[in-house]
Amino acid sequence: MKRIAKRTMTLVSLGAMIGLSACGGASGDNVSATQAEMGTLDPANPITVAFYSYSLAYPTMKPGMEQLIKEFNETIGKEKGVIVEGVPDATMQQYKADISAGKAVDIVQHPFGTLDSSRISLGFKAYEDTFPQEELERHLEGISPNALELGKIDGKMYGLAFTFSTPIVFINGKLFKEAGLNPEQPPETWEEIKAASLQIKEKTGKDGFGLAPSNGWITEGLILSNGGQVLSDDRKEARFAGPESTEAISMWKDLYQNGASAVGTEAELSEQFMAGNLGMYASSTALHSGAKQAADAGGWKLYGAGMPRFADQEAVPVNSGSVLAVRPDSSNKNAAVWEFIKFVTGDRGYTIITSQVGYLPLRTGLADDPNGLKDFVEQNPLYKINLEQLKKIKPVAIWPGDNATEIATLFTDAIVKAITSEDDVADTLTKAQDAINGMIQ
Amino acid sequence: MSKTMEELYSPLVKGKQKAAARNWNSSKLWRKLKPYLYLLPAAILLGIWMYKPLIHTFYLAFHKWSMVPGTDKLFVGFDNFTRLLQNEAFAGAIGNTVFYTLGLLPFSIAIPLVLAVVTNQMNPRMKNFYRALFFIPMILAPVSVSAIWRWLFHPSNGIVNHLLLKLGFVQEQIAFFSDASWAKWIILLITGWKMLGFSTIMFAAALTGINREYYEAGAIDGAGSFRQFLYITVPLMSPMILFMLTMSLLFSSQWTFAYIDILTTGGPYGTSTNIYYEMYRFAFSNLNVGVSSAAAMLFFVLFGLIALSLNAVSRRFAFYDN
């Protein structure tokens, strides 16, 4: 019996070893070294480029993003020999998993906060190392310089600003009027937001204002607007537990816990607003097309306001959205990827992105261009608010190093806890700040 | 001459003997080898899908690696384990794992046992109708189930809040998925509701195996239906009850995974996460497969011990009506 058991073990381990050797070969391929030179493209043998995009996964953004890819494939792609395949990536995890599995992931619509982490661990490349200098400079002309700065780490561009928005307060004109407020003159400070919100609640019975505690980015704008800091300029120290930040978050906690704010997740708040049950909703312009459709369907008019300020201080809007991060693995791929990037961040690309999806045209000249977005912006005056904010925009924190995702989670969790629980704001923020600084150093 | 004769003669005999021995040896070898050959396909599959990943996880637990092909794995010794044990989110996740594991027991043992016994006494048509009703949630896709529960519990548009407000139970809407005091209870409720049918069907199957004569004898001796349940049904179902107990304890964390991921992503501030979801986040969100593997190793040992002790309990308490 013992002998049989022993032999079985031998066999099992033999089986395991066969398995080991069989699976060992899968992780052999390598991430190639950087190549700044561009290969050639051949229309007869088109190169396939994989483009991972979260916009492709959301109903309000999907048609616009699909049109962008389709138009490229049918025009420049066909002419030069590039086929772009879009991969929807709702939670921004798919590209990580696919890179881990050794698949070709060439272009990623990448969020700002974790760009440094991806640069270090996922093999994303700097634009300066991938594309020829003069081509790059020529293409970047006309794009808002503030926006270009945002994807730079240590002086090199690891992401080209792509879909982009600043905070906006969407307003339900019908609820505003029912409450005796004028949507043409929306609240400008946080005190006015609170007063208006309570008035809407009292007069209409519906929630007056909503900002999801887990939103992550408008939070940073809130802290910066009150003179606080999130991350030090050299990105080596988290600083979001200072008195200004604490004051800003305490103000929000007061809104949240004293009846002046709707409760729920980001998705729940946007659904509430689109169902016509929320007076004001602070979010991203990316939701514009969805909000406008909901307003038309529900028979109310959509208004908007910029990011509110604290008393006499100027509001500091931050950016939300994404950059295009690239990791082509050959010189021919470089050329193919570059063609797509030129198209989507060019005049035609931004015209589609703004009019079909809702993000801002980073080629700001398009807003005055009759062939571009002049008509669209006139019909949708909300965009003027955002284009105006673009001039004073500050970047969201790009968290340093390997632990960026963990740090971003710690930061968001601390904010959510400070706002929604009974815990002391200063204590909660300080604890999270210490934990983050422990990870950075 | 005789020598020659012998030489001529003996090799033949020797050859015969050798051939016979060889035949005997090979048939003996074949006989001995045969069972292993039958086992081989299963052993290879187990090796590839179980033992290889297990050994690999053990190896990765001592390395820092982002899982990107072509990048190096850095040996870090016990760093991943110390990091893990210092991680507050991990401690919270362990607490929640215990919460979900214990919280699911009523849904996997107590309620299904009652449902199985009650439906067993109905006429066959109603019995099938009710059992189908209990079982349907089990075969629904977790994503669609989550979507429906999310609508029901929506803070402003959902029917649950609407009713609670109308009936005056609450003054303000409850954000079930973003309120720390509610989120994990909702996840537990949904998982329990989904799993109810599975246990009910298993218990119902076990019930049909109980000899009716015991109940008749019990009834003659004056035992009421509650006593019959307690002294006849429960002991005779003990093997199935212990089996479901083991399943529930070992798999409750996996069953909650989908709802955590879809409904709360572990939030608000990590209050509804569990150990499997944290492991997933360590590996595929933070891209730190080392820490994830270290957690997996710890829980492999822990769940191994739980399984062994349940095995012992089962041997001690299960009653088989042979």
A113 pLDDT above the threshold of 50: yes
Give yes or no for B262 touching A (CB within 8 A): no
Which of B157, B174, B180 is closest, CB to CB, to A272?
B157
Stretch (H or E) spanning B30: helix B2-46
Whether B216 maps to a domain, the answer reads yes
For testing contact with chain B, the best of A119, A416, A419 (most B CBs within 10 A): A416
In the block, tokens 């270009």 appear at A148
d(CA A81, CA B259): 44
**Under CATH, which architecture does the A47-164+320-392 domain have?**
3-Layer(aba) Sandwich (3.40)
d(CA A79, CA A66): 19
Which of B55, B56, B285 is closest, CB to CB, to A93?
B285
Over residues A70-94, the pLDDT tens digits come to 999 999 999 999 999 999 998 788 8
Give yes or no for B154 touching A (CB within 8 A): yes
Cβ pair A268:B155 closer than 8 A: yes
Strand partners for A152: A157
Taking CB atoms and an 8 Å cutoff, what residues of chain A touch B174? 263
Taking CB atoms and an 8 Å cutoff, what residues of chain B touch A97? 284
Taking CB atoms and an 8 Å cutoff, what residues of chain B touch A264? 154-156, 175, 177-178
Question: Are B17 and B133 in the same domain?
Answer: no
Position A11 scores a pLDDT of 41
Whether B66 maps to a domain, the answer reads no
Taking CB atoms and an 8 Å cutoff, what residues of chain B touch A30? 69-70
Q: For chain B, how big is the Rg over CA atoms in Å?
A: 30
Question: Are B171 and B23 in the same domain?
Answer: no
Task: Answer whether A47-164+320-392 and A167-318+403-440 agree in fold.
Answer: yes
Q: For residue A276, what is the DSSP state?
A: T
A13 pLDDT above the threshold of 50: no
Q: Which among B60, B86, B101 is the end of a domain? A: B60
Q: Which residues 383-402 of chain A have a CB within 8 Å of chain B?
A: 402
Q: Which residues contact B83 (CB under 8 A, 6 or more apart)?
A: B291, B294
Percentage of chain B beyond pLDDT 90 is 48
Taking CB atoms and an 8 Å cutoff, what residues of chain B touch A417? 180, 268-269
Give yes or no for A207 touching B (CB within 8 A): yes
A30 pLDDT above the threshold of 50: no
Cβ pair A16:B55 closer than 8 A: yes
B13 pLDDT above the threshold of 70: no
Position B19 scores a pLDDT of 61
Q: What is the mean pLDDT of chain B?
A: 87
Q: For chain A, how big is the Rg over CA atoms in Å?
A: 24
B132 pLDDT above the threshold of 80: yes
Which of B36, B67, B269 is closest, CB to CB, to A417?
B269
Position A345 scores a pLDDT of 92
Stretch (H or E) spanning A53: strand A47-53
Exposed/middle/buried for residue B41 (C-beta within 10 Å: 0-12, 13-18, 19+)? exposed
Q: Which residues 70-99 of chain A have a CB within 8 Å of chain B?
A: 93, 96-97, 99
Q: Which among B35, B60, B85 is the end of a domain? A: B60
Cβ pair A12:B47 closer than 8 A: yes
Answer left, alpha or beta for residue A326, where phi above 0 means left and psi between -120 and 50 means alpha. Answer: beta
Percentage of chain B beyond pLDDT 70 is 93
Superfamily name and number for A167-318+403-440: Periplasmic binding protein-like II (3.40.190.10)
Which of B52, B69, B287 is closest, CB to CB, to A121?
B287
Give yes or no for B43 touching A (CB within 8 A): yes
A147 pLDDT above the threshold of 90: no
A427 pLDDT above the threshold of 70: yes
Question: Are B53 and B78 in the same domain?
Answer: no
Taking CB atoms and an 8 Å cutoff, what residues of chain A touch B284? 93, 96-97, 100
Q: Which residues 108-137 of chain B have a CB within 8 Å of chain A?
A: none
Question: Are B164 and B209 in the same domain?
Answer: yes
Give yes or no for A258 touching B (CB within 8 A): no
Question: Are B116 and B221 in the same domain?
Answer: yes
* Domain boundaries, position B274: 74-317
Position A124 scores a pLDDT of 92
**pLDDT classification of B71: cutoffs 50, 70, 90:** confident
CA contacts within 13 A on the Cβ side of A386: 31
Position B18 scores a pLDDT of 60
Which residue of chain B is at minimal alpha-carbon distance from A93? Answer: B285
Position B292 scores a pLDDT of 93
The CATH number assigned to the domain holding B106 equals 1.10.3720.10
State how beta strands A152-153 and A156-157 pair.
antiparallel
Exposed/middle/buried for residue B245 (C-beta within 10 Å: 0-12, 13-18, 19+)? middle
Position A8 scores a pLDDT of 42
Question: Are B238 and B157 in the same domain?
Answer: yes
In the block, tokens 């709702």 appear at A90
Distance of CA A279 to the CA centre of its chain: 25
Exposed/middle/buried for residue A296 (C-beta within 10 Å: 0-12, 13-18, 19+)? exposed
Question: Are B45 and B185 in the same domain?
Answer: no
Q: What is the mean pLDDT of chain A?
A: 86
Which residue of chain B is at minimal alpha-carbon distance from A406? Answer: B286
* Structural tokens at position B246: 């083991």
B15 pLDDT above the threshold of 80: no
Position B16 scores a pLDDT of 53
Number of domains in chain B: 2
Question: Are B93 and B167 in the same domain?
Answer: yes
Over residues B209-247, the pLDDT tens digits come to 888 888 889 888 888 888 888 888 888 888 899 999 988
A26 pLDDT above the threshold of 60: no
CB atoms under 10 Å from CB of A189, counted, come to 15
Cβ pair A265:B180 closer than 8 A: no
Mean pLDDT of A99-126: 88
Which residue of chain A is at minimal alpha-carbon distance from B270? Answer: A413
* Inter-helix orientation angle B52-60/A2-24, to 10°: 70
Question: pTM for this structure?
Answer: 0.81
B41 pLDDT above the threshold of 90: yes
Cβ pair A413:B269 closer than 8 A: yes
d(CA A236, CA A399): 9
Question: Are B115 and B164 in the same domain?
Answer: yes
**pLDDT classification of B20: cutoffs 50, 70, 90:** low
Mean pLDDT of B273-289: 88
Whether B124 maps to a domain, the answer reads yes
Whether B68 maps to a domain, the answer reads no
Question: Are B105 and B140 in the same domain?
Answer: yes
B43 pLDDT above the threshold of 60: yes
A5 pLDDT above the threshold of 60: no
A22 pLDDT above the threshold of 50: no
